[in-house]
Structure 1
Amino acid sequence: MKVPPRIGDSPTTIRSLVGDNIVLPCEAVGVPIPVVMWSRGGEKYPAQDERFEQLQQGSLSIRNAKEGDSGKYLCIAVSEAGSESKTLWLEVNDPPRITNYLPSELVQPLNSFLMIPCEAEGSPRPNVEWFKGSTPVKQFQNGYTITTDGSLIISSLQPGDNGVYTCRVSNQWGNDSQSTSVDTQVRPHIVGENTEREAETTTAMQGDTIRLECNVTDAHPPATISWYMDDRLITNPENAGLEVDFGGRLLTIPFIQNQDMAHYYCIASNSVGDTQKHFRVNVQEGPIINSLAWEEVTVMAGQDVSFDCNVRGTPLPRISWHFDDIPLASTNQRYNFHLDGSIDLRRVEVIDTGFYTCLAKNRAGTANRTIVLTVEVPPSINPSKDHFALPEGTDVILPCEADGVPIPEVTWEKDGIPLDMEGAQYQQLFLGSLRISPVQAVDAGEYVCTARNEAGEASKTVTLRVHIPPSVVPTIPRMTTARVNEDVILTCPITDARADLTAGRETTIT
């Protein structure tokens, strides 16, 4: 008895994964035993592919399944008793996988364009998602764009874009992911960065301490800071009397001096680039006068005199001269002002005696120097009477009024011998004249007064004659006896031969 072929019940849809070994069931029974044949798309199977093998019971074995093996397969069982067919659907699914390689780190400069690829394969086509850390990256937000092939685009990298980015692909058969770290490199930025022409000016007083700041921000990788002084790299700050602190961010110049006045600049650099900040350091020095602060000068009237005022300082001090606190006018032709600060006085007079002050000023301070000028005048004796004839017993003043600067000292001599002023007879008056009281016969003679000071001396001769009144010598007897007709000589001696005899004394003759 013949029995028509019958194919056993089995699923009509077979699902598997790429790489699996698959068996498409088609076990047929019948009398006689049917012959089982396979076809796909009108072509007989197994084809010339070693992966396909028809089993003894009729099922079709597929080793290492591929996505291309998916499709409709027709199983036909044929015998003399008839035939039966069965259609099976094979789905060879491919779990998602990312086909491109992502490095562990992507280092890019600031503001650059970055595309992170995420090329995925899988069946069905996998869904692509991006995450920054654990936060999903959304299309067109925060500057992100996800292309149709799954790549992530960051149009202009910023430091805030740094982080770990993960591409995750998935379908119902699985998922795959790759991660990479985005490191945005930033050229160093210095607060207040500038050019040499725009250098920041710092002015300090000599002896002050100043600090130049090179505050670097946004540098990634971290910047290296170098300092320069007039284009020379400062390699050993200590040897130059400088201090560098906080990784180069601060340059300290302690106890600043004139030689520290220079062009300083810092350079902050990393692998992306560098930037600079320039400083112009000015050192101000208060005026210093390289002369005695107090000096006394003495000159003769009519001479010229010069006063120096050699000043240094930064900025260059302005010099002015004052006489007894009154500014000297450059229009006065008796004064000659020089560029080096000195001054000439022409043909000085007594009225020029006083205090001359050189006043030096700049923004850093003031200094002064004072010269005490004394103008000396040699002594002179005022013209006056130089011959005197007086009777004994009277008073006389021999004139000798002397002028000069300083006030002259007056001394007297008589007949070449200095007068002794300690007695009561001689008195030297304030201006130098000599008072003799009373005049005696011994006072007659030549008197010389001499006026002296530091500038010289002068003298004057005064002649004094003393008249003595006649007197009779008291030796004459009061009575003389003589004979009649005898000559008698009566003597009358007097003390001054120049006296008038009529002034003799009375004598009686008997």
Structure 2
Amino acid sequence: MKQLEWFQNLSALVLIVLSFSAFQGIKSQLVVSPVGPTLVNVLAGSNVTLAVSFSGATDPVVIWFNGSLTVGTWTINANFPPDIVDDSRDVLRIEKDGSLTFTNVPKHFSGIYTVNMTKSGLGKASTTFNLRIYDGPDEPIIEALPAQPFYEVGDSVIISCNAEGFPQPTAEWVFGGQTLSEFHQGILNLTNVQTNQGGVYTCSVLNAMSGKKREKNVTITVYERPLGDPTCSVLSVNNTDLQYQCRWVGGTPNAQLTFPDLSTTSTGAGIFSLTVTDASSFDEKTVVCNAEHPIEHKTCSVTASRPMNFLPAVKNTVDPDGQIAVTIYCVSDASPQAVVSWSRGGEEVINGTPYQISSNTTQLKIRSYNISTFLLTPNFTCTCRNPLGSQKKQVQLQGPSISDSSLFPNEDGSIITLTWEVPPTSIVTGFDIQMKGPDLLSNNEKNAMTKGNSNEYRIIQQKPGSARSADIFFLDPDLTYRFRIIPKARLTDGEPSEVHRIGPGEGLSGPAIAGIAAGIPCSILTLFLIIGLIVLIFYLHKKKSRQTRYPVSRAVEKVKNIQPNSAPHKMLNAGLRSPPDYNRLHQTPSERSGTLPTFVPPPPVRVATTV
């Protein structure tokens, strides 16, 4: 019994010891807890502590991690300082309770931080913090696409703006002092840009947490091409100097203009001119203007020239008050345009009554009721002059006259068209179209032919002074008509035009018969002269054929018989005349064309013979 009781007491003691041991193990478990929130937001450059507390052990080993990298270790209450990684010693510090403190924390220290605490025999405990460091924001980055030095009107441009920061900074665009609204996430889209959209665009980025703002500018340049093409001209200055001018207006910016042939230093924008005082060397010389614009390069040229030869022109009208108005035009092709001066009989014409000179001096207008006023006036002289020279012409006004006229019938001869021309200095205010012959058919009586005839010219149409043709209808193709045009200067008739006839033949006219009668004697006389000339030629030819022929001497005949085939003497080939053919003299009378002349023997020749 005693042994059993002892055994029971021993078991109870062991149970108590085991229970106490188990209680002590639970009470000594190592525990680490964060003090405060585990998500920590802090402004860059400030101080912050990731605070922790622990229990269940004394003097545990503390290890801090940034992600998977160890940044510091220490044993709490140890006699040695914490071990901090080299690149973080100026920022990190492990506190006595194991907390991690950041001093003047930079932005790049943001991350996930974990603390592990261990104690031999008591296990390991840990806790985690999310540290987010915000600042700035950073300087904005601006980019324009497509990237180019300038844009043309009508182009499209995309401008983006972004900046790093925590939290992500917000961007806005400012242009011309106004905040723009047409952008999304810092992207500004400019379509069909115009010149008024060129300038400085400012991007402003804001960190909402820190309240800090940063700005950056970008300049968008928009150019517009000037209108059309550059134009060159040359003007007269006081009718002595030449002023060359170049124009290419509009556009942004203005085109830069130069005359390199005239000056290498002078330039102008949009409109540019240079004056040349010594114009004598510039006749027919081409001067070029260079027009430079950022979008395009263009040129134009101009050639100065002295006045060319010209023909004055005359135009006639009748004023409402019945006066004849004669306008003389003197225009010469010249560059610059020639200035015209007027004189009459050596005296300068003064602008006023009765002479009126146009503002450009090329026209002189004279007014009078009487045509004789114009015809009795001395010649007018117009002188066209520019700095390079002059041309002078005299104008003698003529009475009403016609220089040329024609008649053109239609296919069946029922309609004709009369045309005419007037001398350039003739004064004509109208025309009478006259006809001689049967009456014209009326429009509704084409088949009722009128067989009457008139031997007098009568007016059938009247035309103004500007007319140069007239159509005449309803002629009878089987009848004969004659037409003429009478030029008029108000009430004064000029010489009629030539007569134009249309219709079947009527025999020869009186003038034609007179012409033929006058031509018959002349023709007979000419015929006799031709016959006489032919007889004379025949007689002379016959006389020439009766020339004197001489008989062949015996010596010549003997030589000829000895050498019948001998070649001609070399002297003959040299151009000497051959001896006469005496054989012809021995022809029979029937073979000869005439009687042989009497032969006279030559005087005897003494011949010496050597033996």
TM-score bucket (shorter structure): 0.3 to 0.5
Higher percent of residues as strand: 1
After TM superposition, the score normalised by the length of structure 1 is 0.45
The structure richer in helix per residue is 2
Provide the TM-score with structure 2 as the length reference. 0.38
Larger Rg: 1
Higher relative contact order (CA 8 A, sep 6+): 1
